[in-house]
Amino acid sequence: MAILFAFGFTVSALVSAVAVDAASLYHERRLLQAGVDLAAISATADPSRAAEIAQSVLVEARLLAPASTDGLTVSTGHYDATAPDIADRFTPGGLPVNAVSVALEQSGTLYFSAGFAGQPTIAAAGLAAVTPEVSFSLGSRLASLHGGLANAVLSDLLGATVALTLADYAALAAAQVNAFAFLDALAQKLGVTAGTYDELLAMEADAGQIAGALASLTAGPARTALQSILGGSGHDVALSHLISLGELGSMHLGSGAVAGLKLSVLDILSAAASLADGDRQVSVNLGAGVPGLVSLGLDLAVGEPPQGAAWFAMGPVGTTVRTAQVRLRIKTQLLGGPVLLGAGVKLPLWLDLAASEAQVTAATCPTAAAPNGSATIAVRPGVARLGLGELSDGALADFGAAPPQTPVHLINVLLLKISGTALVELAQTTPVPVGFSSAEIGAGATKTAKTTTAVTSLVGSLLGNLDLTINVLGVGLASTTVLGNTLRALLAPLAPVLDTTLNATLGVLGLGIGEADVRVHGVRCDHAVLVG
């Protein structure tokens, strides 16, 4: 016989009532947790308004009454996923702010067993963090039209005919295209209609296809200049070395338009030239601009780009971009004059420029007060070594071996022999931190990190270190004799000419001697995730 209680319930009925209420509380607790998690994720979009955003989300979810904050606790701080102890990963009030914690406590509802138990309390807590993703590039300086040098370099490296005027280069530098719109246009040129951006970036495109994609997004002089490059296919470019999109690379083509993520058309062309898979060598004969200068020839070789790094990249702290190694050979011939017995003077030089590197070391998300966020980039300019020496064709292309540093015959005639050695090196052993404020990012500012070794004229420093060995009729003379001083005076006017030539050549590729240009295009914080 069933046992009856004063309230008229049987034991079995009581158990059933408690079970129903327990299930209801469990369901209520799940709804509360879902709402709190959503509030935490939403609040990371603007931590400065975290409490307001979280409260609004919970009201909309009918977990809070309008204008109520009863039982609600919201805190912002810094989340460090690398901390070994999980309890130490979130620091309330820590900087930079990248996480929001939301907790909500309220009374649960009992339907059948309220008379047998006190009012229950249910609570939920959620912690969401966002990883800022910085889009940035390395090497972004205007190519100067130095005696047709830019045209010659781009033509050979791209494998296409480039015959642009200075106005054309200015128009290309001023023209800006959206990075994702460029990739969408390039996909059309490649006949790709479906897939992700990463799948597109795993492909190759030739110079004509790249120029055509850029032309479809521009107008006026920039479009006209690009259309002049379309003839012929040109050399192929591995797109993964051109652009890296990080997590956004998994998005499908046509879905990635990001406002403000603009790239210079000239920057893209210059980067493509340095990455093209042709013979990667250029030879240019330059006009003589100094009295007594007979000839000036330049050979450029571009090394294979580093693996795993692109010219433009988007990603969190630790993301790295690198340039390729570059080697230059300059051959100069001068008239020696009567003091040097009318002998011709040779001045063979080589320049070795190692890859520059830039890495994101810190970033903060955009806020109402700083709509573009901020970022710090650690930049290491490539080691530059300028030497006096002969460089064979094999040595020019052999980036695995350092250029030789053997004495060079500057003058070699029957009665007079003068040889010399010289070497100058610019190296930055520690990265240079370069900070970008929200205003600077919004203005598209380009900053230059320079080596701590300041050299006004690299060639001038080299010639100043020139160690001469002089031999007349088999007799060795001191390097400070009239012959040595005359030779130095003859070479001195060459320094600014050769400095300009070196800088202009590297400028076509967006590079500099002993320095590296870096630009932050934007900071995104769109992908908040629950971390607790």
Which residues 6+ apart lie within 8 Å of 82 measured at CB?
none
The pLDDT tens digits of the residues spanning 435-494 come to 999 999 999 898 988 887 766 788 888 888 889 888 887 777 766 678 888 888 888 888
Give bridge partners of residue 301 from the DSSP assignment: 281, 327
Tokens matching residue 78: 């810094």
pTM greater than 0.85: no
pLDDT value at residue 144: 54
Predicted pLDDT of residue 285 = 78
Three-class SS state of 159: coil
Residue type, 449: A
Mean pLDDT value of segment 394-420: 86
Residue 237 near residue 273, CB atoms below 8 Å: no
Structure tokens at 521: 């295009």
Burial class (CB in 10 A: 0-12, 13-18, 19+), 70: exposed
* pLDDT of res. 153: 84
pLDDT at 370: 87
pLDDT confidence of residue 42: 92
Q: What is the predicted pLDDT for the residue at 430?
A: 86
User: What is the structure's pLDDT at 145?
Assistant: 54
Give 232's pLDDT tier (boundaries 50, 70, 90). Answer: low
pLDDT of residue 74: 96
Q: What is the dihedral of CA 304, 307, 310, 313, to 10 degrees?
A: -170
- Give which of 411, 414, 392 is closest to 403, Cα–Cα: 392
- Mean pLDDT value of segment 410-417: 82
Paired tokens of 298: 């330049």
Q: What per-residue confidence (pLDDT) applies to 2?
A: 44
| Residue 205 banded pLDDT, cuts 50, 70, 90 | very high
Q: Give the model's pLDDT for residue 506.
A: 84
Tell me what the mean pLDDT of segment 335-348 comes to: 77
- R_g (Cα) of the chain, nearest Å: 33
Report, as an integer, the average pLDDT of 157-174.
85
| DSSP class per residue in 322-351 | EPPPEEEEEEEEEE--TTTTT-EEEEEEEE
Q: Is the pLDDT of residue 406 over 50?
A: yes
Residue 360: is its pLDDT beyond 90? yes
Q: What is the pLDDT of residues 122-144, one digit of tens each?
A: 899 999 998 888 999 987 665 55
Res 1: pLDDT: 37
Q: How confident is the model at residue 284 (pLDDT cuts 50, 70, 90)?
A: confident
Mean pLDDT of the chain: 84
d(CA 462, CA 238): 37
**Any idea which residue has 């850029």 for tokens?**
214
